Structure 1
Amino acid sequence: MQIGNNELTYINKTSEEPFAVDADGNIRWYSTLYSRHTFVQLSNGHLLIQNRTNGNKGSYNVLSETDYLGRIYRRYRFSDKLGKSSLEQYITVVHHDALELPNHNLLITISGGDKYAEDVIAEIDYKTGKTVKVIDFKKLLPSSMYRNYSSTTTKGGKIDWLHMNSLYYDQKTGNLLVSARNQDITMSINYKSGKINWIYSGKKKSLWPKKYRSKLLTPAKGTTITGGQHDLTLLSSKNGKLKVLLYDNNIDVTNGNAKTSGKYSQAVQYTIDTKKKTIKQTWSYGKSLGKDNFTRVIGSTQRLSNGNTLIDFGYKHDGSQSNIIEVDKNNNQVFNLTISSSKTDRTYVYRAYRVKFTPSNFVFDATK
């Protein structure tokens, strides 16, 4: 099992305090900063946490750069209003994911302030906090997707037609991988140009406007269609072939597989040929666990350095449990942790990470 070498399993809950456990499940670190969704280890060894500054009250509209000892280095505060609606406890401008770009600026998923929610990404200047770039996905995807969508709204009454829940930036190509739960799609865009590279969706090709059809990936036989998926990451890229990993909730939100929806959730690896526009499933784990580990929302997966895979079945039993499992290359379980959670307090595990505690690039200077 890939634990040790100063590595802990970090538990990033949907609400309340994040913590980390060792191989025996003993808590070795925790933060009193109430956090939500975002928990990123930055290149300087610090942490970027989405939190609120008023203890257990108010909305999660602050991104804090902190460290494992709790020192605050920077704070980015965002509006307490979304459009004309006052924000409630769980209604936030910032949501779901953030990453550090090569220039150290922050790329975050946000709600843009109109009648739609969770369909915009913004680049924030690391030093000044100013917004330097915005990409609105209503300008990238067919207008019918948001104009004809009424299935899901936020507590503030905004139309949640896309629900972006993960971002991954490929430094080699400048491409951005995006997961969008409420359309059951994953896609790649070039961050600089904003042009779409490819889209994977269960929606029939004939139902897409013609200009999008050349971007659609064709699945090989036996390749699953994702539904409500989370945490899309790039494992490798060579000669136009990508290996990607994601957590497939397997719920038919809009374009998922209605026949299998709700029967299981799983971590899945795919190989994408970007030239031929094909996609093939090469590995998965979770289907054998059946409905017991089905999670209609949230979840994550991480490929570890020894080839094992860490999987967070975050919303097990409708949010009363979170089950974190590590499997080896042969799908043998080597770590299994179940955490009781509260649906009311939203303490279920949004993502689980295996990372080094106090990484080598972290230096604490008491004089600064």
Structure 2
Amino acid sequence: MAIFTTAQEAKVSYTVQGKSSDTSITNTVNGDATMTHQVPIVGLYANKNNDVTLNISYEDGTSDSKTIHIKTNKLSKYVKGAKITVSKNDKSQMDIGDNKLTLIDRTTKEPFAIDANGDVRWYTKNYSQHTFEELSNGHILILTKKDINSPAYNDLIETDYLGRVYKEYNFKNKTKSSDSANNGENDETTLIHHDILELPNHDLLATVSDGSEYKEDVMVQISHKTGKVVKVIDLKQLLPNSLYKHFKKGSDGKNDWFHQNSLEYDTNDDSILISGRNQDMILKIDFATNKIIWIYSGKKKSTWPKEYRDKILTPTKGTSITGGQHALTRLSDQDGNPDSEDILLYDNNQNVTNGDKDASGKYSQAVQYHINTKKMTIDETWAYGKRIGKKNFTYIIGNAQRLSNDNTLIDFGFKNDGKESNIIEVDKKGKEVFNVTVENSASKAYAYRAYRMSFYSDEYQFNVLDDSN
């Protein structure tokens, strides 16, 4: 944080000088012009005397600049221990802008972000599991734990890029009928798993386990004002009981028949997109009514109960069947047709229950589908990963993100049985423009997801808090 005053009101931007071309980080400090400045600086190198140029634009139209030097500490153990190797970085074709980094969201240990050269430019000392989500105000949600020796992650914090905590939700396993998220104590079970998002009213929607014999098949809406659970969506009440009644229990004695690993809110029609790994299934539901809009699965339409068959999407010839998939997202409108939508996901291609038995295990891929909701068809329109083959097959975790320049960032997170994670950025033609391998530094410290993110976003503003707050 750079703190200083100016003789007249001004706005400030800064640049952290990169070690090489196209690795500098530039941000404009959001907020009104002022004479007292608190500049949150993000994008520093570790263990280095960083050169940071402050650019000051005064209200009278004049400007000034000053270069300061910020000495940083060494990286923490589990970030430093992750061996990062960049084999490709065509910076002119990458989606990096003025301040974008690749965020490595790990299954455990500390998340960190790297530049196009693979240098760590940001990290948090908060251990995280799966969840790292940016909010509309530019803050981030991290599912962490207060005691690093605890097996459970039941502390959800709203924090920022400098580590200030604005809000905290503590979860405790009570009973299936629990209606409160804010109980103040941790439990041996991690209650939130895999994903969480911010709804338009700023409430949170999270994938949870409800404490019953079934796990990872429930979503809850959590009030951002009170921490109370205000809505519950139980997928057992939406899908046929034949899918879960006889599903084999795991070693923990729980029935993980669905294993919901992602959710996305679609502002176009107030719906939720859902991925269920253990059913090799994706589906869309109306958030207001909980009614199913469509389902895509390798399970044949004729084997579904009759009341579901009009919701089953029919694949066109050559369209792949997903298996053990992750990271289902809605893409922007591709054709202007109100009866269609486009989605992107990471297809692990692992046949769990209804996947493609013949192709299973041969490759993993990012895949884009076009859905015609009037004809109830699904058509594969783009994919990348099949030609790489088995060396990048990952039977668990992974992510696919469509970037602002239409490139796609793909996280083959569990490559080589989790010993390493391979993150690749490709253009629309499948040309590789970025390739980085992260050899994981500890057990389960692989890249659960990788995102290309701005550090920081245009919505982020460091607010000066007084003692009353």
> Taking structure 1 as the reference length, what is the TM-score of the superposition?
0.95
1:323 maps to 2:419: no
Q: What is the rounded CA distance, in whole Å, between the counterparts of 1:208 and 1:274 in structure 2?
A: 19
Residue 445 of structure 2 is matched in structure 1 by 347
Deviating runs (4+, > 6 A) in structure 1?
A: none
Residue 276 of structure 1 is matched in structure 2 by 375
Residue 211 of structure 1 is matched in structure 2 by 307
Q: What is the rounded CA distance, in whole Å, between the counterparts of 2:439 and 2:173 in structure 1?
A: 31
Calculate percent identity across the aligned residue pairs: 57
The residue identity in structure 2 corresponding to 1:66 is T
Q: What is the rounded CA distance, in whole Å, between the counterparts of 1:30 and 1:236 in structure 2?
A: 30
Residue 169 of structure 1 is matched in structure 2 by 265
Q: What is the rounded CA distance, in whole Å, between the counterparts of 2:214 and 2:150 in structure 1?
A: 25
Cα distance per residue 1:23-51 (max 9 Å; x no partner): 10100000000000110000001000111
What is the deviation of 1:288?
0.6
What's the RMSD between the two structures over aligned residues? 1.4
Where structure 2 has 5 or more consecutive residues not aligned to the other structure, the ranges are: 1-93, 177-185
Residue 160 of structure 1 is matched in structure 2 by 256
Residue 463 of structure 2 is matched in structure 1 by 365
- Count residues with an aligned counterpart: 361
Aligned mate of 1:334, from 429, 433, 453: 433
Q: What is the rounded CA distance, in whole Å, between the counterparts of 2:115 and 2:317 in structure 1?
A: 40
Paired residue secondary structure (2:388): helix
CA contact (8 A) 1:233 1:245 kept: yes
What is the deviation of 1:3?
1.1
CA contact (8 A) 1:310 1:324 kept: yes
CA contact (8 A) 2:154 2:187 kept: no
What is the deviation of 1:365?
2.1
Cα distance per residue 1:160-208 (max 9 Å; x no partner): 0000011111112001100000000000000000000000000011111
Q: What is the rounded CA distance, in whole Å, between the counterparts of 2:101 and 2:175 in structure 1?
A: 36
Where structure 1 has 5 or more consecutive residues not aligned to the other structure, the ranges are: none
Cα distance per residue 1:135-179 (max 9 Å; x no partner): 0000000001110111x52x6421100000111111120011000
1:223 maps to 2:319: yes
Distance change (3 Å), C-alpha of 1:138 and 1:118: same
Residue 34 of structure 1 is matched in structure 2 by 127
1:92 maps to 2:185: no
Residue 195 of structure 1 is matched in structure 2 by 291
CA contact (8 A) 1:81 1:87 kept: no
CA contact (8 A) 1:61 1:80 kept: no
Cα distance per residue 1:3-62 (max 9 Å; x no partner): 132111100000010000001010000000000011000000100011111134341112
Aligned mate of 1:25, from 94, 105, 118: 118
Q: What is the rounded CA distance, in whole Å, between the counterparts of 1:158 and 1:87 in structure 2?
A: 17
Q: What is the rounded CA distance, in whole Å, between the counterparts of 1:79 and 1:275 in structure 2?
A: 44
Residue 200 of structure 2 is matched in structure 1 by 102
Paired residue secondary structure (1:324): strand
CA contact (8 A) 2:172 2:187 kept: no
Give 1 or 2 for the bigger CA radius of gyration.
2
Following superposition of structure 1 onto structure 2, how do residues 37-76 of structure 1 map, counting pairs within 5 Å?
Answer: 37-76=130-169
Cα distance per residue 1:62-119 (max 9 Å; x no partner): 2110000001111111114687xx954xx41100000000000000000111100000
Following superposition of structure 1 onto structure 2, how do residues 106-145 of structure 1 map, counting pairs within 5 Å?
Answer: 106-145=204-243
Residue 278 of structure 2 is matched in structure 1 by 182
The residue identity in structure 2 corresponding to 1:23 is A
Aligned mate of 1:299, from 394, 398, 403: 398
The residue identity in structure 1 corresponding to 2:340 is K
